[in-house]
Amino acid sequence: MKDIAIVAYQQSDSVSDAGAVNEVELIMPVLARTFEQAGLNSAQDVDFVCSGSCDYLQGAAFAFVSGVDALGAVPPIKESHVEMDAAWALYESMLKIRMGHADSALIYGFGKSSPGDLPTVLSQQLDPYYLAPLWVDSISLAALQARLMLDKGLITERDMAEVVSRSRRNAMNNPHAQLSGDISVEDVLAEETFLSPLRKADCSPISDGASAMIIATVDQAKAWGLPYVVISGIDHCIETHNLGMRDLTDSVSTRMAANHAGMNAGKVDVAELYAPFSHQELILTRALGLDKETQVNPSGGVLAGNLMMASGLSRIGEVFNRIVKGEAQRGIAHATSGPCLQHNLVTVLEKGENA
Amino acid sequence: MANLAAVVGIGQTKYMTKRTDVSIAGLVREAALKALQDADLTWDDIDAVIIGKAPDMFEGVVMPEAYLTDALGCNGKPMLRVHTAGSVGGSTALVAASHVQSGTFKRVLTVAFEKQSESNAMWALSNAQPFSTHLNAGAGGYFAPIIREYMRRSNAPYNVGIKVAMKDRLHGARNPLAHLQKPDITMKEVEESFMLWDPIRFLESCPSSDGACAMVIANEELAEKSPKPPAWIRGVAMRSEPTMYAGREMVNPQAGRDCAADVYKQAGVTDPRRDFDCAEVYVPFSWYEPMWLENLGFAPEGEGWKLTMEGATSLDEGGDIPWNCSGGVLSSNPIGASGMIRFAEAARQVRGDAGAHQVEGAKLALGHAYGGGAQFFSMWVVGSQKS
């Protein structure tokens, strides 16, 4: 199987409200920077394009259709779309390259969450007969999960506050972050609870934005003369939708995906985890068995800005950035989808030549 | 080169206006179970599930794959959700095939569905957007002027669409799963049905259906051991172009022509009318048969309608290149599944398993789907032989 590598990654600033900017306008500047980074002109210069978005964020059928307008798809291009986080668009693109129908691919994800009430919108992702009619929102479900962790003595509120404090401090070095600052554990704990036991700081903010990536076979990356980071493994796994039938204090599917992706074949210098709530970072860190050797969410993670449908891809992009900068040799990125970490994807990234 | 892959199991629900007897989960599970039975397999034999459907607003469930994983035996496995507008059923089959053709998986299940009775597709397709022109036209209103332009350019007689509408319903009457069952339909009946979007009459339009279609796709080794004949995947292609741009050819879209050229090259098809035994092509409004006959190279530009009128595409008239023997989209249209039904029906033909709508001795067939404003295309070629 051909080795596949990332050669470019860009994301927009994570903002609470992009205003009158539409989806195409969110995507275009990010794509322009991504092409520039790779020394390419447009989507015509890659063999395949795949995106991730969600119709319900835009409140319209076929949200991704307008996205094609950002690509310069004349003459026509080979293009596909997943109604998932763009990390899964990366997955689809890898299959396309592995089967020999492409040597390079552009992947992008975008979401404009600000016009709607995101936690309520996500309540309609639940079983439409038994759960969705209750309009249980995503924060309430996460709060139940956090309560379970606390009641079992698996974590303390201080542990959660430490995650928040570290995220905000790390985000001070992330120019795209929405929330950052020198906030102590005590500062977080002093905050009132929002949906007990969660404080607002325990929850990722509502964000608008986009991110994009270009991948290629290692041969193509070398031909382009670009520094690259090899995707040495990628896998994903879904669990039951029925929350009562899952151990919500663990993430079995994350562990399975990591094992299949070969995470344990070497040292993990850095991990970017898609944990929309502070306690979920603790669940993921433990499920993966990460220790102090691994720096977790140096970007601040999604607690510093959560680009729905792009955050999973951004986690992979953040690890790419660390490795290209020489801050890490090997890292993993995690993406999630569904209520309480139902569906998880793990990517293993390793330093290539020139990176 | 891609690894060889083949369809080894196919399952479809009965298509009808309202499946009030099953939930959405029940609907997809019904098709999936039939596909597993057809392949003589169980849930444990499946490595991954690839699911597709058209906009989530058609059922009012955001990213329903999260909820459907339990019904599809996918817990502990990878689940991927494809959405590429009306072409999604075809694209989903192609993404599923890529799981095997890439060598990543041995055997996968793919399902596409729509339960349109849960919502109103016309509404879901037409809600106003803050930054775009509001067409409020639905699909028929969008395509009607494009059809008129085809009629003007080709000088086709007014009743070509009427002929297609009758022909596909007669085909559908051979298929017990088809939604519309009209064995006695006549051209007069079609002509006298009321005008919806001039020139598209009521009976020249697809119905709105509930239904699901599923396939099991396996690698070469497993396909060879399969109890029933496999349908070997000989070519796969997708193309997209923007919805609107200056100079866009909307009657005979470049994306469709490029997609066909790509998939024919892979399958060694040089003369589609001669090389294929039959085709399942996405024709939701009658006039799209002559238009796609030209777009897909079965007839020279401006002459597609002649094949239709000569009976070349009719099973009942003994045509040399029957199109949509299953009754096509004009007989059953669960939107998100319609593309996969085309792909699956093409596979049924080359497996020799198409029942009363079987084309005798079919060896090579085209499956085709398009979506949006005819700017998204997906196609595959399946054969009874590996090459």
For residues A103 and A138, state if they share a domain.
no
Residue of B nearest to A241 (CA): B67
> Cβ–Cβ of A61/B375 closer than 8 Å?
no
Q: Using CB atoms within 10 Å of the CB of residue A335, give its burial: 0 to 12 exposed, 13 to 18 middle, 19+ buried.
A: buried
Question: Cβ A237–B23 below 8 Å, yes or no?
Answer: no
Residue A214 lies in a domain: yes
Helix, strand, coil percentages (3-state) for chain B, rounded to 5, are: 40, 20, 40
Domain boundary among A188, A214, A229: A229
CB A334 within 8 A of CB A273: yes
Residue type, B170: L
Enumerate the residues of chain B whose CB falls inside 8 A of the CB of residue A58: 129
Helical H runs in chain A?
A: 23-38, 55-58, 63-68, 86-98, 118-123, 138-151, 157-171, 185-189, 218-224, 252-261, 278-288, 311-324
Q: Residues A108, A243: one domain?
A: no
User: Do residue A190 and residue A97 come from a single domain?
Assistant: no
Longest dimension (CA), chain B: 57
Residues A81 and A33 in one domain: yes
- Cα B343 from Cα B346, distance rounded (Å): 5
Cα separation values, B28 from A280, A350, B22, Å: 31, 39, 9
What local confidence, expressed as pLDDT, does residue A66 receive? 80
The answer to whether residues A192 and A214 belong to one domain is no
Per-residue confidence (pLDDT) for residue A34, from 0 to 100: 98
My answer on whether omega of the bond before A75 falls inside 30° of 0, hence cis, is yes
The verdict on A123 and A161 lying in the same domain is yes
Interface test with B, best of A17, A26, A101 (most B CBs within 10 A): A101
Output the domain CATH number for residue A46: 3.40.47.10
How do residues B222-250 score in pLDDT, each as one tens digit? 999 999 999 999 999 999 999 888 889 99
Q: Phi and psi at residue A184, in whole multiples of 5°?
A: -90, 165
Q: What angle separates helix A278-288 from helix A157-171, to the nearest 10 degrees?
A: 90
ipTM of the complex: 0.97
Give yes or no: residues A108 and A212 share one domain: yes
In a domain, A26, yes or no: yes
DSSP letters for A137-168? -HHHHHHHHHHHHHHTTS--HHHHHHHHHHHH
Question: Which parts of B59-176 are beta strand (E)?
Answer: 79-82, 107-115
**How does residue B166 score in pLDDT terms, banded at 50, 70 and 90?**
very high
Q: Which of A84, A98, A242 minimises the CB distance to B81?
A: A84
How do residues B122-135 score in pLDDT, each as one tens digit? 777 766 666 666 65
The encoded tokens of residue B157 equal 């007689």
Contact A83 B83 (CB under 8 A): yes
pLDDT over 80 at B172, yes or no: yes
My answer on whether A134 and A254 are in the same domain is yes
| A13 within a domain of the structure (yes/no) | yes
- A60 and A154 in a single domain? The answer is no
CA distances from A260 to A122, A255, A273 (A): 29, 9, 17
- Among the partner-chain residues B62, B101, B103, the one whose CB lies closest to the CB of A122 is B62
Same domain flag for A11 and A23: yes
A354 belongs to a structural domain: no
CA B237/CA B267 separation, integer angstroms: 11
Of A176, A195, A229, which marks where a domain is finished?
Answer: A229
| Confidence at residue A60, expressed as pLDDT on a 0 to 100 scale | 78
Check whether B121 has a pLDDT greater than 80: no
pLDDT of residue A355: 59
- Residues A38 and A28: their CA atoms lie apart, in Å, by 15
Q: Are B328 and B178 in contact (CB under 8 A)?
A: no
Confidence of residue B374 (pLDDT cuts 50, 70, 90): confident
> CA-CA distance, B244 to B32, in Å (whole number)?
37
pLDDT for res A87: 98
The number of domains in chain A is 2
Predicted local distance difference test score (pLDDT) of residue B129: 67
Is it true that the peptide bond before A197 is cis, omega within 30 degrees of 0? yes
Q: Is residue A10 part of a domain?
A: yes
Mark whether A244 and A257 lie in a shared domain. Answer: yes
Cα B345-B348-B353 angle, rounded to 5 deg? 135
Asked if B274 contacts B259 with a C-beta cutoff of 8 angstroms, the reply is: no
Most B CBs within 10 Å, among A51, A62, A308, to test the B interface = A62
Chain B residues with beta carbon closer than 8 angstroms to that of A65: 85, 243, 372, 375
DSSP strand pairing (A79-82 vs A48-52): parallel
CA distance A55 to chain B (A): 7
Structure tokens at A123: 């309540």
Cα angle: B54, vertex B348, B109; to 5 degrees: 50
Listed as ranges, residues in chain A with pLDDT below 50 are: none
State whether A97 and A170 are in the same domain. no
Distance in angstroms (rounded) separating the CA atoms of residues A157 and A161: 6
CB contact under 8 A, B1 and A100: yes
**H or E element, residue B38:** helix B24-38
Within a domain: A160: yes
Residue A355 is assigned to a structural domain of this protein: no
B195 to chain A, closest Cα gap in Å = 27
pLDDT digits (tens, 9 = 90+) for A6-56: 999 999 999 999 998 888 899 999 999 999 999 999 999 999 999 999 999
Sign for the CA dihedral angle at B40, B44, B50, B54 comes to positive
Chosen from A50, A57, A238 to mutate, greatest number of chain B CBs within 10 A: A238
Domain span at A185:
118-203+232-349
Which residue intervals of B85-137 are DSSP H helices?
88-101, 121-126
Closest CA to A349 of A9, A42, A84, A30: A9
B361 CB within 8 Å of a chain A CB: no
Predicted model pTM: 0.97
Q: What is the pLDDT of residue A16?
A: 96
